Structure 1
């Protein structure tokens, strides 16, 4: 938690605890004041301090192997197709890690003048994110899976990879809320040793309203299974989002009973090491049926006026939804694009 301004009084501390423990409306003025004061870091003004700017060796090469990742390249292509020639916009990236590794928004910010909001629940990753000096708001929180603020246990994974920054960061990308499948990974692997930390969760709309944002050009939602609950409580009529990029996999009962005993060594599965260790190249133990498009999940968006632009189904599916009649949608229609039914 951060504080900008004079120290809080005892009365203010009590008010803070009352607002953050819930239930309180996502747009409660007192809550918005607390969030602005204590949970948001403003965009940096100093030059970037990216990994490639700090080191020029084999470690740098290993770190940037993520650029070869299939899902990263998929989103890179999608964003080029959707936003090429568009004016700078505002994004949200939830699951931002260190603000550079596997980032879906860094290029938009650095090369196209965008700004946005970066949300990361892992405290160590968030501290590294701040050191990158991104030109966006940043919050060390998790997105609430309820309609109000709440505390949650965040499960993160560590693996001894001292000389392999790529694997170290790939393992951290598996972090999830304990309330989601017991903190297990989407592909039911156990990529490292578990560490637990308590984290404040806030509704996405609360974070946005705290910085006076009611229109978002793109949201990248990579929250390891929490996405449905986050979206279920999103005020679609209050906050307009033109494009959603969402990682989502259908859950099965087996997900909720997965135990670390499935991987007693705490190591990455054999097929997941090296390049395959990134979060979207996880070893899939699901059936082919699970890899297909989730119709109920798609319906959650279509009932709010969205069309499915594309879905990358191998491994853990990545969905792209576009709001009908948004500027993005109009540009696509002008190019002759026609929405297709999901399969």
Structure 2
């Protein structure tokens, strides 16, 4: 009996020892967590995480950058359809013509496409990848688009993030447009974060989703990339703010294609110069043109060619190479201190030119791409052939 009582006492003591040990462990764990949170709070008091912080770069590599597949999958029927569909968009034809002129004789390079959509429809870089064996980085914040993008198995890194308007990482809310039909158009998906979309289908509704954003420098440093040969920036707003934070001295970009929609389009009313099938320069020579028509031309040019953006890019050492002169314009810039620019043979007094659309037709509404040739879309100073010339009157 004494032996049994002794065993019971030992077991009871062991139980309470384990219980108190667990309590102390839990208390220590809670205290450790609180200490960690205090340390995190103290660390955050230092301000935002710098865009080149090694800890941030390591996290981006681990959690946000998806490497290219080891083998490229055969194209699906959807990809073939999307590529054919892209040809119906004149802006896509314009960019493709520019890339062919600039990069046909160049070695494979590295691209960045911010606003990659699903990786095939309206992609400005798929042509470089398929035809010229390029690789690069595809950035797409919309989860619906990224779901399709990652299944395309492009020979490029992908990132389901947005570009920060600041020089540090942050989270923002993406306004995502939806439509109450089974297959929403790319016009809906491609404008997810725009407040209003003219001409979209009925039944459009919006939701908000929190999205992680990084400075573009963070993404490129995480990939050890310091030279980008072509950068397509199409994020439906905020392009100039992002460019102002870009480290042009640390990361070289040879060619930029920037979509830049001016908010001033909404202020244009009763514009008579809706479509110009000859260049504004030629129209100005016609003394019989009404003054109202000429003033409309000037108003349209100011919307298409945002002088704030153009002047900023000129100040960063770029030449204004060409533009898609449309109410959703694409402006192309070439870095002056690049081998590509030397191929252009631009007279030095033209390096700082601020207008391209003055010398080419402008079309300010939807039109049939099958009736438009690259000759109409391109700047006659550099097309056909990229070497600078005085254009023949069109």
Superposition map of 1:54-73 within 5 A: 61=81, 64-73=84-93
1:1-343 matches, within 5 Å, as 23-52=48-77, 61=81, 64-162=84-182, 168-176=185-193, 183-185=194-196, 192-252=204-264, 288=300, 290-333=302-345, 340-342=353-355, 343=358
Q: Which has the larger radius of gyration?
A: 2
Q: Shift in Å at residue 251 of structure 1?
A: 2.7
The CA deviation at 1:331 is: 2.3
The answer to whether the Cα contact below 8 Å between 1:291 and 1:313 also exists between their aligned partners in 2 is no
Q: What are the superposed Cα offsets for residues 21-71 of structure 1, whole Å, 9 maximum, x if unpaired? A: 96121111111111111110001123335442x68xxxx757732221010
**CA–CA distance in structure 2, aligned partners of residues 120 and 157 of structure 1:** 15
Is the CA contact (8 Å cut-off) linking 1:291 and 1:314 kept in structure 2?
no
Secondary structure, counterpart of 2:344 in structure 1: helix
Displacement of 1:189: 5.6
**Residue 314 of structure 1: how far off its partner (Å):** 1.4
8 Å Cα contact 2:177-2:205 kept in structure 1: yes
Determine the C-alpha separation between the residues in 2 that align with 1:289 and 1:149. 36
Residue 184 of structure 1: SS of its match in structure 2? coil
Q: Which stretches in structure 1 are left out of the alignment for 5+ residues?
A: 1-9, 177-182, 256-286
What is the deviation of 1:174?
Answer: 0.8
Per-residue deviation, 1:124: 1.6
Q: What stretches of structure 2 of length at least 5 have no aligned partner? A: 1-32, 268-298, 359-394
Kindly indicate whether the alpha-carbon contact (under 8 Å) linking 2:82 and 2:122 is maintained by their aligned counterparts in 1: no
What secondary structure does 2:345 align onto? helix
Aligned 8 A contact 2:113 2:124 in 1 = yes
Q: Residues 76 and 209 of structure 1: is their aligned pair in 2 closer, same or farther, counting only changes over 3 Å?
A: same
CA distance in 1, matches of 2:82, 2:121: 11
Give the CA deviation at 1:333: 2.5
- Conserved? CA contact 1:122–1:140, under 8 Å: yes
Change in 2 beyond 3 A, CA 1:253/1:153: farther
Distance 1:202 1:308 in 2: 28
- TM-score w.r.t. structure 1 length? 0.75
Deviations 1:67-89 (A, max 9, x none): 21010000010100110111000
RMSD value, Cα: 3.0
Secondary structure (helix, strand or coil) at the match of 1:291 reads helix
2-side partners of 1:63 and 1:116: how far apart?
Answer: 19
Query: What TM-score comes out, normalization by structure 2 length?
Result: 0.66
The alpha-carbon distance between structure 1 residues 200 and 49, as it changes in their structure 2 partners (threshold 3 A), is farther
C-alpha deviations, 1:136-171, integer Å up to 9, x for none? 010000000111111011112222443xx6x62232
CA distance in 2, matches of 1:28, 1:199: 20
